[in-house]
């Protein structure tokens, strides 16, 4: 759906560098989520946000930082990238929390050398 966009689509960086993945949604959904997808692990939740200025940890938050100053944006920052963070990252949004469908962006394929 065009309502949620991620940038960049592809990123290559080096260990130790900071990198920020962007996520923008136009639906005014209150909830936003960040997942990483690795072979054999499915979709693992990194962080989520229930509203602007409210964020909470998911299953695998270590090494990541998020912020949500505006409802429509939910950037994910890797402060000092490590090779284990090489993955495909998906952003998603939903109108509510657990009881509402989540809508995913196209993903960012991140490679850390």
Partner 1 sequence: GENVEQHPSTLSVQEGDSAVIKCTYSDSASNYFPWYKQELGKRPQLIIDIRSNVGEKKDQRIAVTLNKTAKHFSLHITETQPEDSAVYFCAASRNTGNQFYFGTGTSLTVIP
Footprint of partner 1 on this chain (CB under 8 A)?
31, 33, 40-43, 45, 48, 50, 56, 58, 90, 96-107
Nearest residue to 106 (alpha-carbon basis) of 29, 25, 48: 25
- The residue (of 41 and 70) whose beta carbon lies closer to partner 1 is 41
- The residue (of 36 and 82) whose beta carbon lies closer to partner 1 is 36
Nearest residue to 23 (alpha-carbon basis) of 110, 105, 81, 87: 105
Shortest Cβ distance from residue 80 to partner 1 (Å)?
26
Taking the C-alpha atoms of residue 76 and residue 96, their distance in angstroms, rounded to an integer, is 20
Which SS3 state, helix, strand or coil, does residue 27 take?
A: coil
- The residue (of 69 and 98) whose beta carbon lies closer to partner 1 is 98
Shortest Cβ distance from residue 97 to partner 1 (Å)?
4
Distances (CA, A) of 105 to 64, 84, 93: 19, 22, 9
- The residue (of 16 and 23) whose beta carbon lies closer to partner 1 is 23
């Amino acid at each position: 759906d065009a309502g949620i966009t991620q940038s960049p689509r592809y990123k290559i960086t080096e260990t130790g560098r900071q990198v920020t993945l962007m996520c923008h949604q136009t639906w005014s959904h209150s909830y936003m989520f960040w997942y990483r997808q690795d072979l054999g692990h499915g979709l693992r939740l990194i962080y989520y946000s229930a509203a602007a200025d409210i964020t909470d940890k998911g299953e695998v938050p270590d090494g990541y930082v998020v912020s949500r100053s505006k409802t429509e944006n939910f950037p994910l920052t890797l402060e000092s990238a490590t090779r284990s963070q090489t993955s495909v990252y998906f952003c998603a949004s939903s109108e509510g929390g657990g009881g509402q469908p989540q809508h995913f962006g196209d993903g960012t394929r991140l490679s850390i050398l």
